Amino acid sequence: MSFLFSSSVLRAGTGLLALSLSAALFAAEKPAAGSGPIIPTVITSKTLDMRSTDTETHAIFDHNVVVTGNNMRITCDHLDVLASRLGDKEATVGTLDKFKTLVATGHVHIVQGDRDVTCGRAEVFPLENRVVLTESPVVIDSSGPYVAKGTRIILLRGERRLFGDNIEMTGPPIKDLGFDKEKPMQSPVLSK
């Protein structure tokens, strides 16, 4: 996976630098052999505040945030990203290794495959293959079809699994299992 950040403003430390990061490509983990082309994760926003320590890079994206990646698109108002850092510890912006967390807030909309998600907050844990949705989450899966709503919904990567709290699930209709009032009642068949 590769990462590409794009923003009109980068705040580094206490200074304000006006630069475009649209060409800044950070190398990361290589895909498994035969898994297809490398698809970078691209994050765009109006503003970016990014800081690095010796081991981590913390980036805060604000206003019109769009994340696109491997079969995924996230839009939101605010995105807080924490990633592992490799390489030169003295570099202003280090080489990113792996995303640890992505926390999207404000009008969150996630589209991935046949799933469409809306909520107020989405916490993505790529290393755990888990997404936690809160603040009125709604998951629409057109393959079911079903719609899930709740106070907290958790999605697990690769398992097509969904679980959570206070869930309301709407799915396809179930065949009427009642009886025809016009039809005479039949005696039950008893097995011997």
Q: Is residue 178 part of a domain?
A: no
Q: If you search the block for the tokens 């082309």, which residue do you land on?
A: 37
Q: State the CATH number of the domain containing residue 96.
A: 2.60.450.10
**Is residue 90 situated within a structural domain?**
yes
Q: Is 36 helix (H, G, I), strand (E, B) or coil?
A: coil
| pLDDT, position 175 | 84
Question: Where does the pLDDT of residue 71 fall: very low under 50, low under 70, confident under 90, or very high at 90 and above?
Answer: confident
Whether the CA torsion 131, 132, 133, 139 is positive or negative: it is positive
What's the number of domains the chain is made of? Answer: 1
**pTM for the structure as a whole:** 0.70
Residues facing residue 48 across a β-bridge? 10, 61
- Length of the chain as a residue count: 192
As a whole number, mean pLDDT of residues 86-97 equals 58
Which pLDDT belongs to residue 38? 75
Domain that holds residue 78: 48-170
Residue with the two structure tokens 């293959």: 129
Structural domain contains residue 108: yes
Does residue 23 lie within any of the structural domains?
A: no
Query: Is residue 181 in a domain?
Result: no
Q: What is the pLDDT of residues 119-163, one digit of tens each?
A: 999 999 988 989 999 999 999 998 878 999 999 999 988 887 889
Stretch 54-60: mean pLDDT? 88
Q: Quick check: is 112 in a domain?
A: yes
Residue 31 in domain: no
Q: Are 9 and 16 in contact (CB under 8 A)?
A: yes
Measured between alpha carbons, how far is 25 from 95 in angstroms, rounded to an integer? 9
Integer CA distances (angstroms), 114 to 24, 72, 74, 142, 160, in order: 31, 10, 14, 6, 11
Query: For position 113, what pLDDT does the model report?
Result: 85
